[in-house]
């Protein structure tokens, strides 16, 4: 099973915000620290916020903070929010239409769909055995995520958007 890059970045964002909980974390500081475009970072943060993993506040004095305690954020739950689907075979794709209509003539009678369904559930369950707190506790380089030199949110001269135009 393979997770999308956005899910990987979501895990990194959660770790970064958790480790720097006593600092003012902004989209700009996170995108700069992770070398992501601001636009891409905002999309990931929006999904994390909609999933309840992050709280966001716009404007002056705003920023990012965890929406739950690190021990309550389960890695599988994050993956479920971030992944567009776990439809590794067409008959498992829950978002193909209102009712999936796979082209496979064996739909409904094939054991492969049940095997894949169980595999996906076990994969997510395995991820859910670990919380954000567990990940942070076991991360040898967690101190490297501290951001002593967070860029000033008003100084965006180093920030480059995905279309390569500086702000």
- Hey, CA dihedral for 126, 127, 129, 130, is it positive or negative? positive
Same domain for 109 and 86, yes or no, is: yes
Same domain, 14 and 38: yes
Does 6 share its domain with 87?
Answer: no
Q: Look over the chain and give the mean of its residue pLDDT values, rounded to a whole number.
A: 79
pLDDT of amino acid 29: 92
Q: So what's the pLDDT on residue 118?
A: 86
**Are 63 and 138 members of one domain?**
yes
Q: What is the pLDDT of residues 51-88, one digit of tens each?
A: 999 999 887 777 999 999 999 999 999 999 998 776 66
User: Are 151 and 111 within one domain?
Assistant: no
Q: What percent of the chain has pLDDT over 70?
A: 68
Contact between 24 and 51 (Cβ < 8 Å):
no
Domain of 66 in residue numbering reads as 1-71+134-167
- Its sign, for the CA torsion 151, 79, 7, 100, is negative
Instruction: Compute the distance between CA of residue 81 and CA of residue 94 in angstroms, rounded to an integer.
Output: 14
Query: Are 105 and 152 members of one domain?
Result: no
Are the beta carbons of 13 and 82 closer than 8 angstroms?
no
**Is the confidence at residue 154, as pLDDT, over 60?**
no
Question: Is the domain of 14 the same as that of 40?
Answer: yes
Element (H, E) at 124: helix 111-127
Tokens of 67: 């929406």
Q: What is the CATH number of the domain that holds 59?
A: 1.10.10.10
Query: How confident is the model over 129-149, as a mean pLDDT?
Result: 75
Q: 3-state SS string over 6-69? A: HHHHHHHHHHHHHHCCCCCECHHHHHHHHCCCHHHHHHHHHHHHHCCCEEEECCCCCEEEECCC
Give yes or no for residue 128 having a pLDDT over 50.
yes
Both 67 and 82 in one domain: the answer is no
pLDDT digits (tens, 9 = 90+) for 80-110: 999 877 666 666 655 444 455 566 666 667 7
- Predicted model pTM: 0.75
- Do both 138 and 64 map to the same domain? yes
């Amino acid at each position: 099973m393979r997770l999308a890059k956005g899910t990987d970045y979501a895990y990194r964002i959660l770790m970064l915000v958790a480790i720097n909980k006593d600092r003012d974390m902004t989209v700009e500081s996170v995108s700069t620290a992770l070398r992501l475009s601001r636009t891409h970072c905002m999309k990931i943060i929006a999904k994390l916020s909609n999933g309840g993993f992050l709280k966001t506040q716009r404007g002056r004095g705003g920023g990012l903070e965890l929406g739950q305690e690190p021990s309550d954020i389960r890695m599988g739950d994050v993956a479920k929010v971030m992944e567009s689907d776990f439809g590794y075979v067409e008959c498992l794709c829950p978002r193909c239409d209102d009712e999936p209509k796979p082209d496979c003539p064996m739909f409904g009678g094939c054991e492969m769909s049940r095997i894949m369904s169980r595999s996906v559930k076990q994969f997510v369950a395995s991820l859910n055995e670990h919380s954000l707190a567990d990940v942070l506790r076991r991360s040898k380089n967690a101190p490297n995520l501290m951001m002593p030199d967070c860029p000033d949110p008003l100084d965006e001269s180093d920030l480059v958007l995905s279309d390569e135009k500086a702000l």
